[in-house]
Chains A and B, each alone.
Chain A
Amino acid sequence: MKIWQKIFLPSVVFTMIGVFAISMWLVVRSHTLQLEAKKESVQSRSSEVVAALRQTVEDQKHGYFLSSSLIEETITELCSEMSSEYVEVSAFRIDQAMYSGENTCFTFSKEDGMLHFQTIIFLSGAVYQVIISENIQPLLAQFGEDIKTVQIYGTLVSMVISIALLILAIAITKPIKDMEKATERIAEGDYKYRIMYRGKDELSELAHHMNDMAFHIEADTAFMENISESRRMFIANMTHELKTPLTSILGFADVLRIKPDISDEERRNYADIIFAEANRLRMLSSRLMELVTINEVELQMVPVNVADLLAQTAKSYQPICEEAKVSLTLELEPAIIQADETLFATLVVNLIDNARKASETGKEIQVCCKKRHNHVLIQVKDQGSGIPKEQICHVTEAFYMVDKSRTRKAGGAGIGLALCKAIATAHQGGLFIESEYTKGTTITVSVPLSKEG
């Protein structure tokens, strides 16, 4: 059963019962009162008649004995005098044996629409019965008519009330219906849909909460979709990065296998390519392993002096930089952090290596570390090719390459910065990139200082 039916049907039933009960009660009551009044008037009429009879008989007697026939005559005369259209007065002598003592005795009898009032009196030695009869037919007819009227009007009023209730019930339950439709849409996956509802009642609160719910579902699904999209991209990129060298390796191996008369030069050429691509694959697989395992293995946290680590790494890079005529300057402030030494070294090596790859002859790389609040900031600044503004947010994604051919030539696969970011994050730190295209890039890694240091 629908809610509007639940509201509507009982209300209609109770209203009809109420309307009929009250009006019937009123009609019956007024009828009873009228009847009572009639009775009283009949009774007083009776007293009047009796008094008049006594007076008349008394007057005529004047101390003489009157014959009973004369009295009866007088009474009959008087009675017919006192009768009117509606009230019939009659008195007659009855058997002495029926008289039971006192001269006053009232009985009511109601038959044929007539109300009778009987009085037995003792009058100059005889017993008389005086009957006052009043026609109450009109009263009864009125009562019947009233009942009919009440039924008709009661039905009409009930119908009007029912219609009003029906409209009200539908109006009240309409927002529920709307909400039901809205939830259906949301359940079907239309998370952008919002329920329109004005007012300040319980339903508007409900609508409000449901909108909140839809909002959160929308946000969460967007989040999940984002994750699955980035996973998909990661896998697509990985497949591409793995299969590209594999294509060359397999392909040139196949060429060596099936091509007739290969010159020595060609053979060396093909072998070189196979060798280079296999190396690329090896590098890629070890990088990928590092990236994948960062979050899987437990880090061996030990106190590490960042300044020492940077100095050592810079030292090992010095010969390569000198050869490329790139100057490497250091500005180091001693700082101790809790870190996994091997991983953190990978981070530092990657940062310096990236800067070196980006730098052309005659440029400078600045490496510095300084304490700020309770963090250490490691900065590697180069004057290299830089990153276009709109790409900065992408460069920490795995396999993202700003200049694919340059990255390839340098033997990269676009994993370095993703790895750095993952390592920084694993140390409760962050990685920030500032870059101006063609002018140079500054990469800052911020890691909390060791509490003991």
Chain B
Amino acid sequence: MSNSQYTILIVEDDENVAKYVQTCLSMGEYQSEICSNGDAAIERLSKQTFDLILLDIMLPGMDGFAVQEQIKTKGIPIIFLTAMQDVSEKVRGLKAGAEDYIVKPFEVMELLARVEVVLRRCSKSNGKLTYENIEIDTEKHTVKKNGETVAVSPKEFEVLCYFINYQDIVISRERLLVDLWDINYMGETRTVDTHVQQVRRKLELKDRLLTVPKYGYKLVRG
């Protein structure tokens, strides 16, 4: 199932932030629509269903929590966008049934990673990823190239899936460290390089998985 089949509703009152979120989503190949306030969002949702809602909390008039209260029967997963870093607000949002919570400001990959996690958790995906002649079964953790199984370590498997999910996007070493190794520091990135090189070698991706000098890597769209 490719990302373009997902439609995401953005509820954000600031025009530029909404535009930015939409740009992010389009980089992840998602379809999206923008509503600038709660009433418009509820109106929009009564006509069409979405796979995910990115909901700002501080909206003019009805706030994000109120909007969520009104639409929670629809069962659409919600990720809150907010400027607050207050833990109590976070707890309130998650208690009310939000799937996740993104604090502004946020980077493109941060948003895409959260969106992907939520969508994968909430939709019944078949657990299959494909890239050119590579087939991946995310449930069985197997990788096949031209029908032949390629042995990869669990971390290499994660790295490969990550690049396939974000094709054509330049991904920094730090981002990989944060998302795959759960390490949140700027420092030793050699581990990342080693794993990427292994993936590149084992799956013969020399011309596809490119090194972006001084920044990171990019998998050319298949």
Contact = CB atoms under 8 A, between A and B. Distances in A.
Interface of A: 236, 239-240, 242-252, 254-255, 257-260, 270, 273, 276-277, 401, 404-405, 408
Contacts of A246: 104-105
Given A239-B85, A248-B17, A248-B20, 12 more contacts: A244-B17, A247-B17, A251-B20, A251-B21, A251-B107, A255-B23, A258-B27, A258-B171, A260-B170, A273-B16, A273-B19, A405-B36
Contacts of A270: 23
A251 B108 contact: yes
Interface of B: 13-17, 19-21, 23-24, 27, 36, 58, 60, 83-85, 104-109, 168-172, 215, 218
9 contacts: A243-B83, A246-B104, A247-B104, A247-B105, A251-B108, A258-B171, A260-B170, A277-B16, A405-B15
Contacts of B107: 250-251, 254
Contacts of A251: 17, 20-21, 23-24, 105-108
Given A246-B104, A260-B218, A255 B24 contact: yes
A401 B109 CA distance: 33
Contact of B83 (A239, A259, A260, A273): A239
Contacts of A252: 16, 20, 23
Residue of A247, A249, A260 most packed against chain B (CB within 10 A): A247
Contacts of A258: 27, 108-109, 169-172
Nearest to A259: B27
Contacts of B17: 244, 247-248, 251
B216 to A, nearest CB: 8
B72 to A, nearest CB: 24
A276 B17 CA distance: 12
A258 B36 CA distance: 27
The 10 A-B pairs of least Cβ separation, nearest first, read A243-B83, A251-B20, A248-B16, A247-B105, A247-B104, A250-B105, A258-B170, A240-B83, A243-B104, A404-B60
A245 B19 CA distance: 12
A244 B83 contact: yes
Given A236-B84, A240-B58, A260-B218, A247 B20 contact: yes
B104 A254 contact: no
A243 B20 CA distance: 14
Nearest to A238: B83
Contact of A408 (B14, B83, B105, B108): B14
B171 to A, nearest CB: 7
A236 B218 CA distance: 38
Nearest to B27: A259
A370 to B, nearest CB: 38
A252 B111 CA distance: 13
Nearest to A236: B84
A259 B27 CA distance: 7
Contacts of A240: 58, 83-84
A228 to B, nearest CB: 14
Contacts of A259: 23, 27, 108, 169-170
A273 B21 CA distance: 13
Nearest to A401: B60
A248 B14 contact: yes
A255 B20 contact: yes
A158 B58 CA distance: 77
A259 B170 CA distance: 7
Contacts of A260: 168-170, 218
B86 to A, nearest CB: 8
Contacts of B36: 405
Contacts of A243: 83, 104-105
B21 to A, nearest CB: 8
Contacts of B24: 251, 255
Nearest to A246: B105
A369 to B, nearest CB: 35
Contacts of A405: 13, 15, 36, 60
Nearest to A253: B107
A247 B108 contact: no
Contacts of A242: 83
Contacts of B168: 260
A273 B14 CA distance: 12
Contact of B14 (A244, A250, A254): A244
A244 B27 contact: no
Given A240-B58, A243-B104, A276-B16, A255 B83 contact: no
